[in-house]
Amino acid sequence: MQKLSDNLKFKYTWRNYQQKFLDGFQEHIKDGHLHVIAPPGSGKTILGLEILKRIGKPTLVLSPTLTIRNQWRSRLLEFFTVNGNFDNYSLDIKSPELITFSTYQSLFALSKSFGENSKEQLLAYIKKHQIETLVLDEAHHLKNEWWHCLFHLKAIEGLTVVSLTATPPYDSTATEIHRYFSLCGAIDDEIAVPDLIKNGDLCPHQDFIYFSKPEEAQIKYIVNYRERILNFTNNLLANTDLQEKLITQDFYVNPKKSLDYIYQYPTFFSSIIIYLNSCGFALNEMNLKILGFANNDVTFPSFNYEWSEILLQHLLVDQREKFISFEDVLMPLEKDLKRIGVLENKRVNFIGDEVLYRNLSNSPSKLESIFKIVNHTDLSLQEGARTVILTDFIRKEFLNLEGDDTKLINKLGVVPILKYILAKQPNNASLAVLTGSLVIVNENALSHLKELLAIAQLVVKPLEGSAGYMFIQVPDALKNKIAESVTQLFKEGIIKTLIGTKAFLGEGWDAPCINTLILASYVGSFVSSNQMRGRAIRVDADNPNKTGAIWHLACLDPTAIDGGKDMEKLQQRFEAFNGVSIRDEAYISNGIDRLVLPLNWSETSDLSAINEDMLSRAQQKSVFTERWNEAIANGNVLVRELNIPFSEAQSFARQKQLNALNAGKYVILEVVLGVSLFIPEFLIKNFGAVLNKGIVQVIYLFCAALIFGFGPKTFKALKIYFLFGNQYKKTKKIGKALLHYLLHEKTSNFESKNAKIFAEQNLKGTFSIYLKEASQHDCNVFISLLEEVIAPIDNPRYLLVNGNFIKRRLGIRNYYVVPKDIGKNKIEALRFKGYWNKHVDGSKILFTRTLKGRKELLKARFSHLKYQFEEVSKKTITWK
């Protein structure tokens, strides 16, 4: 058998960031997994070939499409073959060679062809052909049925799994994410976009958002929807029949006899108590004790939409049969919820139904946004404009629309976008449509298209209502050729604005000349967004000074402070990629914060000012390059960090003179200042009493005034202080305990011997924790575990519980989670506790799967509702 290392050799010089990755290759591959994130333009396929060559074993390379499969073969022959004499490869999984290029579909089909015992026969087949390396290209494409085959293969002892992707599916369900990382392993390394820009392999670029408000009819629908939910919630709080049913339940009247049930459904039990408290009921003291509180010690959350969902989901869906005696009360509730659209597919959802937000995402108001961006780009770049608009649907029903009445264009799609722009600019001759089933060009471009196709005649017909535009009937035999030719006309500038579907142009299609991309797509997924952006940020050999502007569209929900679901989808999208900040200090990070947007959209009335600012900044192409260069110079590696938000009532800006002092210390300071002012004032006012009544009585009077005046604040300060301590310093201590555990226990393949913890706190109060001198893999492991420790308590096996004498007297305990991977067994949990006690505090370990543990877990979860951060911590990626 031929040796890969003898027959394959990379013919050129590795780029700096590629060489940096390859230098760490041997460390990454130790555990039999190699998981690499490589953005478009980084040479992912070539790196993959070098990896399989270095491993040097018979390899099966799996790709999502035949096109990408063929790219692997062409890159192998073009970049690696010595004298062009390597032929020990195959494109047929049924006839494997030393390297076999295939698709996920083909592997699945092969597995199905074995019939019964397909798992065993597939494993036997792979072993028979001695395949020992599996390369998964763009594994985020995997469909449910394809996973089974791959997990079967992972059972082969000694199999090395190499995973290459541009974007892991972080926004999938928890189950899908777990499955993905179980298959691919933790991320070992990531080729950073800043490195690609620095090296000239990607162009400087900037993301922008154009905001719009819903149409009047949509606003009325949203407001009416919210009012119906509000009325339902008010009626629920006044529902005496439901309240009487609940307060007579055994688990509420005699909670000690129903501990198993309460601890099995602690959130439901909490929702009942919060509901009854909001209804004005004096709560059963025993119920509060089960939650871990005395009568005078508890401050309940309000009965908001989230608690309503928990209560009703349990009563109406999850445990309906247990509450059969409630049917006379539950039936009317169920009808009301279905009528207003809150109960669908066996799920209670007060935040909003999917139809409401799909209406927003496809709002006709976005058509005006698109027109404004296209018009502004044409005026700014003139003949240099190369704009692509990607959307979800074609909407052929609008093909015959005539006239310039834009109110008739009430849906977002390829044809509506074309019609809307032409209604506003009937003389615009530089538009075109390119999809898998529809091609439309202006008659000015038609002769050029025929010339490129070398065809005298094309079957065309005029596009009704759009003078000068022709609809081309595309024969299957010419589909690819026409797509290539339209792309060429776009490159030459005969077509300046190209409208298409993300399915056809979003992935695989390439036109480096794009300098403006408008994402008019409902899809907010990491994978689709990153692939679509990849079209616009590639360098253009014909335009070395190219910069890219990527436009996102948001239709804001005027009734929501956070802007609504459309804005939420956009925030998800921005988590998928890194970019440079739009103003002030130049830094590179993922997430939407770098665009510096308003925090409260319900109070933001002037969207036009924000949009005008975005359009103005989109013109400043040279600034893109300057900001990238400045930000790149400020760092050298992408750092994964955990951001913990500041959430005290006082703004951090007002407290920044106190540096990292927490709320407890702030109140103590108030007390000290208050007492220092109180003493001289008291003595002046009571000087006569000292002479008349004697010093002893005045001292008693002074002490009483001090206690009544400052006692409550002092108690509050002590309680907050002992509950939280200094969160900034304490989180650093927790990080230190975790790092020492990882360095010394060798349980997570943590290899960064020189790793050090760094923490920073900005002027807004948010602080971040991260590692330096650590690999990407080890940074990922550390941050994921740290997030788990301080995240809201759900259902861990082990808790760390701290309760010293003073805290017990104040009725306070601190609870932290032992991460799942560490708490798999008691031995590891106790080892982690040793590091915790050394660096954090003297906590005890608690196993939550006993009755006592369940009781304590319930207290911990309820304590979190009262005292922990209002906003949860968030993992971010920053260039430092």
Mean pLDDT highest for which of 365-374, 449-458, 707-716? 365-374
Buried b (16+ CB within 10 A) or exposed e, 769-778: bbbeebbbbb
| Helix or strand run (H / E) with residue 548 | strand 548-555
Structure tokens at 474: 């595309």
Distance CA 129, CA 700 (A): 93
Identity of residue 469 = Y
The pLDDT confidence band at residue 752, using thresholds 50, 70 and 90, is: confident
* E-state strands within 669-780: 756-761, 767-772
Structure tokens at 410: 């009430």
Residue-wise pLDDT tens digits, 819-846: 998 988 999 999 999 999 999 988 999 9
Residue-wise pLDDT tens digits, 132-190: 999 999 877 665 677 888 988 988 989 999 999 887 776 666 677 778 888 888 888 88
Average pLDDT over residues 570-588: 90
Identity of residue 333 = L
Instruction: Look over the chain and give the mean of its residue pLDDT values, rounded to a whole number.
Output: 83
Report the percent of the chain where pLDDT is more than 90: 45
Distance CA 155, CA 711 (A): 65
Q: Would you say residue 295 has pLDDT above 70?
A: no
More confident residue, 125 or 340: 125
The answer to whether 565 touches 352, Cβ cutoff 8 Å, is yes
The answer to whether 267 touches 274, Cβ cutoff 8 Å, is no
More confident residue, 730 or 608: 608
The pLDDT assigned to 769 comes to 92
The pLDDT assigned to 750 comes to 83
The pLDDT confidence band at residue 696, using thresholds 50, 70 and 90, is: low
The pLDDT assigned to 258 comes to 82
Distance CA 742, CA 831 (A): 11
The pLDDT assigned to 672 comes to 56
The pLDDT assigned to 713 comes to 55
Nearest Cα to Cα of residue 638 among 723, 579, 550, 701: 579
C-beta neighbour count of 251 within 10 angstroms: 19
The pLDDT assigned to 688 comes to 57
Average pLDDT over residues 319-337: 94
Q: Would you say residue 807 has pLDDT above 50?
A: yes
Residue-wise pLDDT tens digits, 174-187: 677 778 888 888 88
More confident residue, 667 or 19: 19
The pLDDT assigned to 171 comes to 60
More confident residue, 383 or 266: 383
More confident residue, 689 or 736: 736
More confident residue, 536 or 692: 536
The answer to whether 798 touches 821, Cβ cutoff 8 Å, is no
Sole residue written with tokens 């009563």: 315
Residue-wise pLDDT tens digits, 231-287: 999 999 999 999 999 999 988 888 878 877 887 787 888 889 889 989 998 777 777
The pLDDT assigned to 649 comes to 37
- SS3 at position 846: strand
C-beta neighbour count of 620 within 10 angstroms: 14
The pLDDT confidence band at residue 131, using thresholds 50, 70 and 90, is: very high
The pLDDT assigned to 396 comes to 93
Distance CA 879, CA 467 (A): 50
What DSSP character marks residue 281?
P
Average pLDDT over residues 291-306: 71
Assigned CATH for 4-191: 3.40.50.300
The pLDDT assigned to 344 comes to 83
Mean pLDDT highest for which of 20-24, 57-61, 508-512? 57-61
The pLDDT assigned to 663 comes to 44
Nearest Cα to Cα of residue 601 among 552, 560, 647, 554: 560
Nearest Cα to Cα of residue 878 among 790, 758, 726: 758
Q: Would you say residue 618 has pLDDT above 90?
A: yes
Residue-wise pLDDT tens digits, 759-778: 887 655 678 899 988 887 78
Distance CA 453, CA 647 (A): 63
Q: Would you say residue 312 has pLDDT above 60?
A: yes
The answer to whether 32 touches 159, Cβ cutoff 8 Å, is yes
- Give the distance from CA 548 to its chain's centroid: 23
CA atoms within 13 A on the CB side of 301: 19
Average pLDDT over residues 741-769: 81
Distance CA 106, CA 93 (A): 7
The pLDDT assigned to 852 comes to 80
Q: Which residues pair with 644 in a beta bridge?
A: 767
Average pLDDT over residues 505-521: 84
Average pLDDT over residues 383-407: 91
The residues, any chain, with a CB within 8 Å of residue 12's CB and separated by 6 or more, are 79
The pLDDT assigned to 876 comes to 87
Residue-wise pLDDT tens digits, 23-74: 988 888 888 889 998 888 888 999 999 999 999 999 999 998 888 899 899 9
Alpha helices in 80-215 (DSSP H): 104-113, 118-128, 144-154, 174-184, 193-198
Q: Would you say residue 650 has pLDDT above 50?
A: no
The pLDDT assigned to 351 comes to 72
More confident residue, 611 or 760: 611
The pLDDT assigned to 525 comes to 54
By CB neighbour count within 10 A (0-12 exposed, 13-18 middle, 19+ buried), where does 691 fall? exposed
The answer to whether 498 touches 513, Cβ cutoff 8 Å, is no
Distance CA 261, CA 257 (A): 9
Q: Would you say residue 639 has pLDDT above 80?
A: yes
The answer to whether 574 touches 167, Cβ cutoff 8 Å, is no
Average pLDDT over residues 693-718: 56
The pLDDT assigned to 356 comes to 66
Average pLDDT over residues 71-78: 92
Residue-wise pLDDT tens digits, 431-472: 999 998 899 999 999 999 989 988 767 888 999 989 999 999
Structure tokens at 159: 């199999």
More confident residue, 675 or 127: 127
The pLDDT confidence band at residue 866, using thresholds 50, 70 and 90, is: very low
Q: Would you say residue 702 has pLDDT above 60?
A: no
Report the percent of the chain where pLDDT is more than 70: 82
Q: Would you say residue 560 has pLDDT above 50?
A: yes
